[in-house]
């Protein structure tokens, strides 16, 4: 599917905007209102609205935050939106196909993934997401690390939003139609969304774009190392036993392991973000952006 990615003209450094905060607050208010109205009116038609708002709220806010801090990047909102939607769908489809073929089915329902299966899922999903980035960005220059970070974050969060929606619906079915279980699953995954898919794909996208040429992607040693790094973080997130956790109101368990893995990913993303700013300044000074 060919996409015409457009670019804005070169621009001075942008101030850190706060549109992401408005997106989050408005979305949170809509989620709260629709949830309350659904329970008060007992109207099942509102259930898809509640679940979609809840599971897309944090991913969209995350992408808006990155876009507000893009500085010299010439990517347009349309490009980011297309990456979020189409890239997320491509990633989910690819992961679903390969996981059904390669990942063993847990012996007991609800058992979760073993560590080996979790690592395999990490390799598959991170591979599918970065391939989606490459497909969508094949007609644009690949030299800006910031562009790779933004596109990776958008595709990763599109994937996360769709995946979380699926988990919420599965929780609804397996609980025998208890809406509250689905809502709790939505809130739980929303709390952890900023530490997962968007961060991992943003890291890999930034490294890939930095290593690539103007019109051709290059899979260098640094790209392979970044791919293995985010895949291991992902695999440990999915397959490491939640043996130590703490509980936050209203009774949501937070795994210490997942929190630690998320912090490692955030630190890696911050490092690449700061490095990409330096690169963007160099490109601007040389007249290449």
Residues 43-71: what's their mean pLDDT? 93
pLDDT digits (tens, 9 = 90+) for 97-126: 999 999 987 765 566 788 899 999 999 999
Residue-by-residue DSSP string for the chain: ------BPPP-PPPP---HHHHHHHHHHHHHHHHHHHHHHHT-GGGHHHHHHHHHHHHHHHHHHHHHHT-TT--B-HHHHHHIIIIIHHHHHHHHHHHHHHHSPPPSSTT----HHHHHHHHHHHHHHHHHHHHHHTTTS----HHHHHHHHHHHHHHHHHHHHHHHHHHHHHHTTS-HHHHHHHHHHHHHHGGGSHHHHHHHHHHHHHHHS-SSS----HHHHHHHHHHHHHHHHHHHS---SEEEETTTEEEEHHHHHHHHHHHHHHHHHHHHHHHHHHHHHHTT--
Least trusted range by pLDDT, from 70-74, 195-199, 213-217, 223-227: 70-74
Q: What is the pLDDT of residue 139?
A: 86
Mean pLDDT of 266-277: 93
**Can you say how many angstroms the Cα of residue 87 is from the centroid of all Cα atoms in its chain?**
10
Query: Which of the residue ranges 48-52, 69-73, 167-171 would you say has the lowest mean pLDDT?
Result: 69-73
State whether the Cα torsion 58-242-106-231 is positive or negative: positive
Which of the residue ranges 29-43, 150-164, 190-204, 271-285 would you say has the lowest mean pLDDT?
271-285
pLDDT at 84: 97
CA 67 from centre of chain:
14
Q: What is the pLDDT of residue 15?
A: 47
pLDDT of residue 9: 42
Report whether pLDDT(16) > 60.
Answer: no
Write out pLDDT tens, residues 132-161.
999 999 888 777 899 999 999 999 999 999
Q: Kindly report the CA angle at 69 between 66 and 70, in degrees rounded to 5?
A: 85
For residue 7, the number of C-alpha atoms closer than 13 Å in the C-beta half-sphere is 14
Decide: 212 and 218 in contact? Cβ < 8 Å.
yes
Over range 235-255, report the average pLDDT: 73
- 226 vs 248: which has the higher pLDDT: 226
Contact criterion met (CB below 8 Å) for 68 and 132: no
pLDDT, position 8: 43
Q: What is the mean pLDDT of residues 28-40?
A: 96
pLDDT band at 52 (very low <50, low <70, confident <90, very high): very high
pTM of this structure: 0.89
The residues spanned by each domain of the chain are 76-285
Supply the pLDDT for residue 1: 44
Task: Say if residue 83's pLDDT is above 70.
Answer: yes
**Distance of alpha carbon 157 from alpha carbon 57, whole angstroms:** 10
């Amino acid at each position: 599917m060919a996409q015409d990615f457009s670019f804005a003209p070169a621009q001075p450094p942008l101030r850190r905007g706060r549109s992401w905060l408005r997106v989050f607050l408005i979305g949170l208010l809509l989620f709260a209102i629709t949830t309350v109205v659904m329970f008060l009116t007992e109207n099942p038609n509102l259930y898809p609205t509640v679940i979609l708002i809840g599971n897309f709220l944090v991913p969209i806010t995350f992408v808006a935050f990155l876009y507000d801090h893009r500085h010299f990047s010439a990517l347009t909102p349309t490009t980011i939106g297309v990456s979020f939607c189409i890239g997320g769908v491509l990633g989910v489809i690819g992961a679903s196909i390969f996981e059904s073929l390669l990942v063993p089915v847990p012996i007991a329902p609800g058992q979760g993934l073993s560590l080996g299966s979790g690592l395999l899922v990490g390799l598959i999903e991170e591979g599918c997401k970065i391939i989606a980035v490459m497909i969508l960005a094949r007609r644009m220059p690949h030299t800006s690390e910031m562009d790779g970070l933004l596109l990776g974050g958008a595709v990763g969060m599109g994937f996360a939003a769709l995946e979380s929606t699926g988990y919420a619906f599965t929780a609804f079915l397996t609980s025998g139609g208890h809406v509250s279980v689905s809502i709790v699953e939505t809130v739980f995954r929303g709390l952890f969304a900023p530490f997962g898919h968007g961060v991992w794909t943003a890291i890999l996208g930034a490294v890939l774009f930095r290593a690539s040429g103007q019109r051709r992607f290059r899979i260098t040693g640094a790209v392979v190392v970044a791919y293995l790094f985010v895949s291991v973080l992902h695999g440990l997130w999915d397959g490491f036993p939640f043996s130590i956790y703490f509980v936050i109101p209203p009774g949501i368990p937070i795994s210490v392991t997942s929190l630690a893995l998320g912090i490692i990913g955030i630190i890696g993303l911050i490092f690449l973000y700061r490095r990409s700013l330096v690169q963007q300044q160099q490109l601007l000074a040389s007249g290449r952006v």
